[in-house]
Structure 1
Amino acid sequence: MLIKSVTALILLAVGTTTAQAAPVSCPRTIPFTTASVTQHEGGSFALNWTAPGVRRVSVYTGATQDGIDYSHPVARGEGSAAITVSGLGAADRRWFRLVPDRGEGLTVADRDLHLASVPNLRDAGGYRTADGHWVRMGAVYRSSNLGGATESDLATLTRLGVRVIEDLRTDAELVKTPDRVPRGATVTQQNVLGAGIPGPLPKTPEQSVRYMIDAEAYLVSAPSALVAYRGTLGAMTGTGVLQHCSAGKDRTGWASAVLLTALGVPRATVYQDYLDSNTYLAARNAAILAQAPADQREVIRPQLDSRAEYLDNGFAEADKRYGSFTGYLDQGLHLDTAALRAALLI
Structure 2
Amino acid sequence: MKKALLAATAVVASALTASLVVAPAASASGWEWPGRHHDRTSIPFTEATVTAAADGSYALKWNAKGTRHVEIKANGKVVAKGGAQGRATVQGLPAADRQWFDFKADHGQGLHLADRQVKLEGAVNFRDIGGYRTTTGQWVKMGEVYRSDALDKLTANDRAKLQRLRVKTVFDLRTQDERGKDADRVPAGARYVVADVFAGSGSFQTMPKSPDEAVQAMIGAERSMVSGEGGKKAYAQVLDGVRDDRAHAVLFHCTAGKDRTGWADATLLTALGVPQETVLADYLASNDYRKAANEAILSRLPAPQAAVYKPMLDVRPEYLNAGYDEVKAKYGTFDRYLKDGLGLDARELRDLKRDLLVG
Common topology (TM > 0.5): yes
Deviations 1:27-61 (A, max 9, x none): 98110000000111222111000000111111111
2:229 corresponds in structure 1 to 223
Contact 2:13 2:204 (C-alpha < 8 Å) held by counterparts: no
Q: Which amino acid aligns with 1:11?
A: V
Contact 1:32 1:49 (C-alpha < 8 Å) held by counterparts: yes
The reply on whether 1:157 has 2:158 as its aligned counterpart is no
Determine which structure has greater relative contact order: mean sequence separation of CA pairs < 8 Å that are 6+ residues apart, divided by chain length. 2
The reply on whether 1:339 has 2:348 as its aligned counterpart is no
Give 1:186 shift.
1.2
- When the two chains are superposed, the root-mean-square deviation of aligned CA atoms in Å is 1.7
Q: What is the TM-score when the length of structure 1 is the normalising length?
A: 0.90
Number of residue pairs the alignment of both structures matches: 326
Change (3 A) 1:189 1:241: same
**Structure 2 counterpart SS, 1:74:** strand
The reply on whether 1:61 has 2:67 as its aligned counterpart is no
**Structure 2 counterpart SS, 1:260:** helix
Q: Which amino acid aligns with 1:30?
A: I
Q: Give, in whole Å, the separation in 2 of the partners of 1:28 and 1:229.
A: 29
Q: Which amino acid aligns with 1:191?
A: D
Contact 2:58 2:89 (C-alpha < 8 Å) held by counterparts: yes
Q: Give, in whole Å, the separation in 2 of the partners of 1:301 and 1:272.
A: 19
Task: Specify every segment of 5 or more residues in structure 1 that has no aligned partner in the other structure, as ranges.
Answer: 15-26, 63-68
1:79 corresponds in structure 2 to 84
Q: Give, in whole Å, the separation in 1 of the partners of 2:168 and 2:279.
A: 25
Give 1:118 shift.
1.0
Which of 32, 42, 46 is residue 33 of structure 1 equivalent to? 46
Which of 281, 295, 302 is residue 286 of structure 1 equivalent to? 295
Contact 1:197 1:215 (C-alpha < 8 Å) held by counterparts: no
Contact 1:13 1:249 (C-alpha < 8 Å) held by counterparts: no
Moved runs in structure 1, 4+ residues, more than 6 A?
none
Calculate percent identity across the aligned residue pairs.
46
Q: Give, in whole Å, the separation in 2 of the partners of 1:270 and 1:321.
A: 21
> 1:1-346 residue pairs with structure 2 within 5 A?
2=2, 5=6, 8-14=9-15, 29-62=42-75, 69=76, 72-195=77-200, 196=202, 200-237=206-243, 238=245, 239-335=248-344, 336-346=348-358
Q: What is the TM-score when the length of structure 2 is the normalising length?
A: 0.87
Contact 1:168 1:190 (C-alpha < 8 Å) held by counterparts: yes
Q: Give, in whole Å, the separation in 2 of the partners of 1:183 and 1:199.
A: 36
Deviations 1:285-321 (A, max 9, x none): 0111112233200000000000000011100001111
Contact 2:210 2:308 (C-alpha < 8 Å) held by counterparts: yes
